Amino acid sequence: MVTKAYSTSFSLGIRFLANKFHNPIYAVYGFVRFADEIVDSFHGYDKRTLLEEFKQDTYKAIEKGISLNPILNNFAQVVNEYHIDPWTIKTFFKSMEMDLDLHTYDQNGYEEYILGSAEVVGLMCLKVFVEGDEDEYNKLKHYAMKLGSAFQKINFLRDFKADSDALGRIYFPQLRNGGSFDRKTKKEIEDDILKDFDFGYEGIKKLPKNARFGVYVAYIYYSQLLNKIIDMPPKALFEERIRISDKKKYALFFGSYLRHSFNLL
């Protein structure tokens, strides 16, 4: 319910995974979404205390193997069943805490934030996809991290207006000390994303087949989103949140299905 309420694209992508992966990936998404909502949406409340309580409840749920919070109950079961590394959870919470304190980022902070907010989420999902095969996990983890990084950087561009206007956040280090978001800066950011994407795509092709298509669908959606952003002038990102229409999404997914069916992936 949480995934479908917050993300049409991820909901559709999950449908194209093997059925056995649906609930585990919903559990991961629900967990990271709830933490993200605490720091982004709970205005007028003590976000720091709420996030700390959510973090402690997470660790308790994992330790006990159960929680009365259905989001944490499902997530804890996935963590324990698929042996998700505790480091990924700790690193994720570190990035959520950074959102409470920081409004601009230098290069080191930018990389640290992306590691915790996106790359480790890719690792959580990869743990599910390889179903306990540690050799396979170790071979694919760097690809998963780069793909998560690309997705997050595209989110930063897509949500540039909301992040800067509503939340007062500027993630890109190029803009930290009054830097201009001009065509040169925008292209520098886009080229960096394309490098992550190219590397991540190679990992998609190496995924187990029952997970490959669902991840590929997410890749195609974000590729289209990035292409739309590339075609827009920098000032447009200050004026609107960039979207792909539902009609266009379904067309992309259908085309992806044909490519997958004919082994063109």
Q: Report the pLDDT averaged over residues 42-70.
A: 97
* Global confidence as pTM: 0.91
pLDDT at residue 252, rounded to an integer:
65
Give CA–CA dist 128/124, Å, rounded. 7
Average pLDDT over residues 33-46: 95
Q: Once rounded to an integer, what is the mean pLDDT over residues 175-204?
A: 93
What was the pLDDT predicted at 16?
A: 85
DSSP notation for 4-65: HHH-HHHHHHHHTS-HHHHHHHHHHHHHHHHHHHHHHH-TTS-HHHHHHHHHHHHHHHHHHT
The mean predicted confidence, pLDDT, of the chain is: 91
Bridge partner residues of 134 (DSSP): none
Which residue bears the tokens 């087949």?
209
**Half-sphere exposure of residue 46: CA atoms within 13 angstroms, side-chain side:** 5
The closest of 136, 133, 183, 186 to 160, measured between CA atoms, is: 186
- CB proximity list for 76: less than 8 A, separation 6 or greater: 58, 61, 62, 64, 65, 66, 67
**What are the φ and ψ backbone dihedral angles of 104, each rounded to 5 degrees?**
-135, 160
> Is residue 247 predicted with pLDDT exceeding 90?
no
Instruction: Domains for the chain: give ranges and CATH numbers.
Output: 2-261 (1.10.600.10)
Mean pLDDT of 176-181: 82
Query: Which residue did the predictor score with more confidence, 234 or 247?
Result: 234
Helices and strands per DSSP (H, E), number in the chain? 13, 0
Assess whether pLDDT exceeds 60 at residue 196.
yes
Averaged over 255-265, what is the pLDDT?
A: 56
